[in-house]
Amino acid sequence: MPTSSLWQSVSLTFLVLLLASLSARSEPIEEDILVTASRIPEAALKLPLAWSTVDSAALALVDPVHINEVMQRVPGAWISRGNGQESIIALRSPVLTGAGGCGAFFSAADGINLRAPGFCNINQLFDSNFEQASRIEVIRGPATALYGSNAMHGVINVISAAPTEELDQNLALEAGPDNYYRAKQRYRNTFGSHGISINANVTHDGGYKDDSGYDQQKLLTRYDYSGESWDFRTVLDGANLNQDTAGFIKGFQAYQDDDRKKENPNPEAYRDAWSVRFYSAATTSLNENSSFTVTPYLRLNDMKFLQHFLAWQPTEKNAHDSLGVRTTIHTDAGVLRWVHGIEAEYTDATLKETQDEDFSPNIPAGVHYDYQVDASMAAIYTQLRTQYDTPWEFDLGVRLEYSNYDYHNRTTDGSPCSDAADNCRFYRPADRDDDFTNWSTNAGVSYALTEDHIVYLRLAQGYRAPQANELYRLQSGQESADLDSEEIANIELGLRGYWRSTARYDIAMYYMNKENVIFQDSDRQNVSGAKTNHYGAEISVDYAITDNWSVGVDANFASHTYDNNIELFGSNKDIKGNDIDTSPKAFGSARLGWDFSELAGRYSLTELEWVYMGSYYLDPTNEHEYNGHSLVNLRITSDLTPRWTAGLRLTNLLDEEYAERADFGFGDYRYFVGQPRGAYLQISYQFGVTDG
């Protein structure tokens, strides 16, 4: 479907929903609460900020196998699904690949980075227990001053489930295609001043592709304590993944070839990763208006995988251990809400890349890279929000952040190649220190048109320091990478509100300009200096037609282009004004929900979902393209008794032939093949209730 047609369809739908609300139900809509902007719950309607939430009800209904299934409910977000649990993030951006592309997004659990700043991984969202989260909160575009490096295009924050006031104990078993099995357990309860929440899931997937599949285990425990002077929230969160990875299949529209869909050109590929995060947030009252919170945290990450996407297939092992602390003062004086604080973090990181056999004189067997980095970060920030008794609200924030990398090469400096090599692929720089100091500011104003409708204007900056991979994993004789921090400037205009207590709507229009973008030039050198432009519109509507029927739409229309001519590796053409590869101009989803509890006699809900992905270019020269696709999914859940619940999910209901992600590299079209129609059945048992 052309972009203009999709825009007209969504606009017409939006207009019809507003007009239909004149005769719709009148129960009040629950006000949205957001934690991510200031790290404490606050009414979100009047925030001059583009935000989205996926709540617990949506998570339960979607019951995602992969996080991209729920992020389709966030306008402007596309979690591009790779094989197994792999993914790449696009959030108000193209899909950003390369050594540091993942550094443009702040991926977090309870506000703490899943990976240390400077050591991101494109797949890092699989470390979070999104399957059993309370909700997922998203800030689209540069975040508030509470977030620093990496929060350029936005924040994805997975919020852990709090203890419940009464016993909530549930066991769920699930089965799906290709020997997919999953078990989920939760236990939540409160005993006086003590509360506990334990959430665990274990998954086995035999894999749609040949010689693929994964086993994954996640455990999150949360302990809340409310004392006379101090309140504590303590979380221990761990994940483990053992994956047999299937690589791209090659050839134009190969995903439509029935004989090749299940083909795995890399049966030897694998990814083994584990992570542990621990934090304890201690809060005490300073006076009747202010509270103080100190949050020490520990982060451990370890990953080993075969780089199947490279012809010579080296093995990489990376790890980092981090220790950090965050101190924050929150002040709520009625007319003013003010948060300011200091945070610091130390990380010990290592990376080693090896190859078993010679590929060529320029790509030899042995150690390609072996280094260790001592990284430190310190920041101070303040964010102010006014709440005067007027239609106007103002928001203002400032952050100063310092980052330092102390790099140690643990193998010989320079090239690992023999004298026979004329242009060795790899280069190991000598020991060095690199540091970066960055400022960011944000300012926003909202105006209440009525009690339930606001318009807002926001200006914001974001940045990211170079990633360690970009600085120290050099190629083709580059002895040092003198890189600058990437910077982005954002202006956005938004309209948000509730309509006659039956609908929520959120419209945001933005323009962003990014400078000092790090890229690999025609000589395979990591350099700064690219510029890109980003503008678009994001629309989100949820509408209750009647007590039983509801619809929802989340749509994104955007343009992401190169703003200067740069000599990218593999291209000698002028690309200024071209679309950045893997940046569809339109994508989104629409949902029709039916609550048939009255008919069934117990809580019962079904949802029909349409997912649209527009066409996009696969290379900076815009010479190769993927045509896009549309998918239909059906979900049904119903309480059989007060104890037993059953759920059925039919994915790709129309059995569309499509690519989860398309690419063009090394002279070939490359595709991650989308899976055919699949059926997932879940049965869950609720403890502590009586049948009736």
Residue-wise DSSP of 112-159: EESS-TT---TTGGGGS-GGG-SEEEEEESS--TT--TT-SSEEEEEE
402 domain-assigned: yes
* Tokens linked to 296: 């020490």
**Running along the chain, 692 residues long, what does each successive block of 10 average in pLDDT?**
45 45 46 90 93 96 97 96 94 90 94 95 95 98 96 97 97 98 98 97 97 97 96 98 95 94 94 98 96 98 95 96 98 93 98 95 96 98 93 97 98 92 92 97 97 96 96 93 96 93 93 95 89 97 94 97 86 88 97 95 96 96 96 98 97 97 91 96 91 58
Quote the number of domains for the chain: 1
Whole-number Å distance between alpha carbons of 631 and 610: 6
* Tokens linked to 370: 């072996």
Element of type H or E holding 204: strand 194-205
Whole-number Å distance between alpha carbons of 53 and 685: 27
Q: In this structure, what is the dihedral angle of CA atoms 573, 578, 580, 583, given to the nearest 10 degrees?
A: -140
Write down the H helix ranges in 46-91.
56-62, 68-71
**Residue pair 163/195 in contact by the 8 Å Cβ criterion:** yes
Please name the residues in contact with 407: beta carbons below 8 A apart, sequence gap of 6 or more.
371, 372, 373, 429, 431, 432, 433, 434, 468, 471, 472
Looking at residue 30, its pLDDT comes to: 66
CATH at 51:
2.40.170.20
Looking at residue 21, its pLDDT comes to: 41
12 domain-assigned: yes
Task: Indicate the pairing of strand 629-639 with strand 604-613.
Answer: antiparallel
> Is the torsion defined by CA of 245, 251, 253, 257 positive or negative?
negative
Looking at residue 692, its pLDDT comes to: 54
Whole-number Å distance between alpha carbons of 118 and 104: 11
* Residue showing tokens 């103080």: 292
* 3-class state of residue 470 by DSSP: helix
192 domain-assigned: no
**Residue pair 559/580 in contact by the 8 Å Cβ criterion:** no
127 — phi, psi (to 5°)? Answer: -75, -20
* 3-class state of residue 597 by DSSP: helix
Closest CA to 501 of 8, 24, 73: 24
503 domain-assigned: yes
Q: Whole domain around residue 372: which residue ranges?
A: 3-163+278-687
* Tokens linked to 662: 């398309």
263 domain-assigned: no
Amino acid sitting at position 179: N
* Residue showing tokens 């995903």: 255
261 domain-assigned: no
* Tokens linked to 352: 């080693």
Looking at residue 572, its pLDDT comes to: 72
Q: In this structure, what is the dihedral angle of CA atoms 254, 257, 263, 264, given to the nearest 10 degrees?
A: 10
Task: Indicate the pairing of strand 180-191 with strand 194-205.
Answer: antiparallel
* Tokens linked to 682: 């879940």
446 domain-assigned: yes
273 domain-assigned: no
Amino acid sitting at position 356: D
- Please tell me what DSSP assigns to residue 7: H
Q: What is the pTM of this model?
A: 0.94
Amino acid sitting at position 515: E
